[in-house]
Amino acid sequence: MPKEKKSRPPYFNRELSWLAFNRRVLDLAQEELFPVLERMRFLAITSSNLDEFFEIRVAGLIQQLESGVGEVGFDGLGPREQLRRIRAITSAMVSDQYKIWDSEIIPALKKEKIFIKSPKSCNSTEKAWLKTYFEENVYPALTPLAVDPAHPFPHLRNKGLYVLLTLSRPGERARGVPDIAIVPVPPILRRIIRLQSGGQDEYRIVFLSDTIKYFAESLFPGYKVRNSAVFRITRNSDLYFDEEETQNLLLTIENELHKRKKGDAVRLEIEDCVSAASLQSLIDSIDLPAEYTYKISSFPINLARLNDLFELVDRPDLKFAPFKPFVPQCFRSGDDIFSVIRQKDRLLQHPYDSFSPVEQFIASAASDENVLAIKLTLYRTSSGSPILKSLKDAAENGKQVTVLVELKARFDEENNIQWARELEEKGVHVVYGIVGFKTHCKTCLIIRSEHGKLRRYAHLGTGNYNSKTAKIYTDLSLFTADDKICSEIADLFNTLTGRAAEPHFTKLMVAPFCFHSKFISKIDREIRNAKAGKKARIIAKTNSLLEQSVIDKLYEASQAGVKIDLIVRGICALVPGVKGLSDNISVRSIVGMFLEHSRIYYFENDGSPEVYAGSGDLMPRNMFRRIECVYPVEDADLKRRIIDDILPAFLKDNLFASLLHSNGAYYRSSEMKSSQEPFSAQQHFLDEANSTALSSSLILPADAEGISEDVENSENASEENAS
């Protein structure tokens, strides 16, 4: 008898799974529970996410195809098939974006006296005002670019906005090749123009690109504009260099950033009113295959610019209500923060708990005469960050300050270079980590002299040292003075700043050294317990699940009878609900008011649960190509908070959770369990924070921020959002 061929386990494709995540973001633009300006903002986020997806992921697939590599992932799809499916899905997604904008958001805004207009639809008074505005504020900044033998086709910058014009002299016969010109939309000008008409409580809005297009003929005296269309190009924006051959990483990345602006075109978005001849001329000039062209039937071309409209419109009633993060009593007592941490470990859940204790921790260290040294990893931070100021102050106060700056934090490279230089100027010792690995862990270590001995204090997080994103990303922060954990954090910093081929970690799971092996061993333990009839369960909350051996081990655990609940915000290659393989695994994604960013890992361990949190997702890059730190939560009270409140709330969510099915489709939990009372985990935590703050009569005017404060998109939507 021939051996029966073993069937290959099923996996979802990474790129298609990410597109399914972005579809869930787009769904929030139709969320009736959200105010209209917030719904509009989710349209902007969807577009920003798509930009980065094309700049990095689609660009990579196109490169594979052109180089003839044709790499097939463990899901079985090659680059050509992936690009074909991406084209179909993104075309439908973009079409749906504009349908929502035109048929739902614009009418809803109109009811609130916010009118989105084109120059053509303006009345005579508005047109006269707009003409004056154009002549005084726009025309002087414009540079029309003819395209002819004397004027070669210009380089078009990544994600820049342009107007493509077809010109002719009156009475001149049309030629085979059209006379075209391009007008760049200056990035320095405001993209949203508020017309000075109507009442003070009204907003009448036109877009800058449409205004330039409308008055473009004035830029070409003696010519008629026969056709005009706004367009933008997305280019390959990944950085390519060999770190091992690089003598100065900072200078190398600076040079690569200049190249990024000139990467190959990977997408053209253009109004569908463009003439066929002008479009062909443009496609030929930018050397882009026609299948990467997306025709847009509405305006604006770049929906990410709706963020500008969100900021312009001063209507708090159309945005999420302001929220005051809660500061736990122990951090408000006035006690020395180090004595607070010495008493017991402390856990914060951002954004419901304020980020200010983290800033206070570092600020106190900067001014405390007993603090000798501060060590911190910096992946992303915000402009004007109090943490950066504290680090500079600490160096000026004579403390030994070491900051590991990750120069390759995608789309934040320029910011990080600037901050690295500012820190160095103040005497901070700045290092850039281990060659070949991104330093993604979120750790801070403070060394303090107490009673003639040295004592260490640590902050460990799942999110960046960024006070802005801490208001809209959900993350966990742990403060500890535990000797063993702090000792291992010290070893981690020594590894990052010095050399250690095989550092040893017992408490921590640190990538690339032991995160993967320890995670696999903990799943194996649950498998053994299940087979022995002992208690076995796994709950994992992560941004992405893509590492094949972890997925295979979870399949094995499911087959052994381990109940597995996965909360995966973004990419998930694991296929749940397959009979005999993954029928004990559920996968849900929560996309809501806040960006779910915390990573939490729970192992039942036969009734003695272990809980971990940290920076590492379950992806190959996080386990093998990054420095990640996943830490145990061992304090009984803190562990109980995670086990009894935080994780159950995520599993109970039936408002903003979507359940992944074996066919790859996500269905909202409310559709699956309509008999249950509506429950949102995020709203639950908001209510908890508000209730606790009210009961303690807490007022935090400095922290009272709107939920949807505009953040620098590179998290985010940035790499963090995309992940």
Give pLDDT tens digits for 296-341: 999 899 999 999 999 999 999 999 988 889 999 999 877 899 999 9
pLDDT digits (tens, 9 = 90+) for 180-210: 899 999 999 999 999 987 677 899 999 999 9
Beta carbons of 480 and 458 less than 8 angstroms apart: yes
- Return d(Cα 460, Cα 445) in angstroms, integer: 9
**DSSP states of 456-490:** EEEEEESS-S-TTGGGTEEEEEEEE--HHHHHHHH
Cα separations in angstroms, 215 against 167, 208, 220: 14, 11, 10
Q: What is the CA radius of gyration of the chain?
A: 27
pLDDT digits (tens, 9 = 90+) for 613-658: 999 999 999 999 999 999 999 999 999 999 999 999 999 999 999 9
pLDDT classification of 490: cutoffs 50, 70, 90: very high
Is the pLDDT confidence value at 607 over 70?
Answer: yes
- Residue 693: helix, strand or coil by DSSP? helix
pLDDT at 122: 94
495: its two tokens? 């590894």
pLDDT digits (tens, 9 = 90+) for 2-53: 444 456 679 999 999 999 999 999 999 999 999 999 999 999 999 999 999 9
Burial class (CB in 10 A: 0-12, 13-18, 19+), 665: exposed
Question: Could you tell me whether strands 161-168 and 666-668 are parallel, antiparallel, or unpaired per DSSP bridges?
Answer: unpaired
Is the pLDDT confidence value at 560 over 80?
Answer: yes
The domain at 509-679 falls in which architecture?
2-Layer Sandwich (3.30)
- Return d(Cα 339, Cα 427) in angstroms, integer: 28
Helices (H) and strands (E) in the chain, counts: 24, 29
Domains 14-318 and 329-497 in one fold: no
Q: Which CATH number fits domain 329-497: 3.30.870.10, 3.30.70.580, 3.40.50.300, 3.40.50.1000?
A: 3.30.870.10
pLDDT at 150: 64
Orientation angle between helical segments 356-367 and 386-396, nearest 10 degrees: 10
- Return d(Cα 671, Cα 395) in angstroms, integer: 56
Cα separations in angstroms, 665 against 20, 295, 572, 668: 8, 27, 12, 10
Give mean pLDDT, residues 215-235. 93
Is the pLDDT confidence value at 421 over 60?
Answer: yes
- Return d(Cα 65, Cα 83) in angstroms, integer: 9
Give mean pLDDT, residues 244-254. 44
**DSSP states of 387-443:** HHHHHHHHHHTT-EEEEEE-TTSTT-HHHHHHHHHHHHHTT-EEE--STT-EE--EE
So where are the chain's domains?
A: 14-318, 329-497, 509-679
Is the pLDDT confidence value at 722 over 70?
Answer: no
Is the pLDDT confidence value at 107 over 70?
Answer: yes
- Return d(Cα 428, Cα 388) in angstroms, integer: 10
CATH 3.30.1840.10 holds for 14-318: yes
Cα separations in angstroms, 297 against 229, 269, 272, 300, 471: 11, 10, 5, 10, 36
Orientation angle between helical segments 515-531 and 548-559, nearest 10 degrees: 10
Task: Give the HSE-up count for residue 686: Cα atoms under 13 Å, Cβ half-sphere.
Answer: 17
- Return d(Cα 137, Cα 158) in angstroms, integer: 24
Q: Is 440 a catalytic residue?
A: yes
Cα separations in angstroms, 450 against 191, 336, 339, 389, 575: 56, 13, 11, 25, 53
Q: Considering the chain, what is the average pLDDT of its residues?
A: 87
595: its two tokens? 């960006």
* Other beta carbons within 10 Å of 701: 6
Give mean pLDDT, residues 654-672. 86
Task: Provide the whole-model pTM.
Answer: 0.89
pLDDT classification of 448: cutoffs 50, 70, 90: very high
**Higher model confidence: residue 567 or residue 235?**
567
542: its two tokens? 């992560």
Q: Which of 350, 440, 516, 684 is catalytic?
A: 440
616: its two tokens? 């590492």
Beta carbons of 286 and 296 less than 8 angstroms apart: no
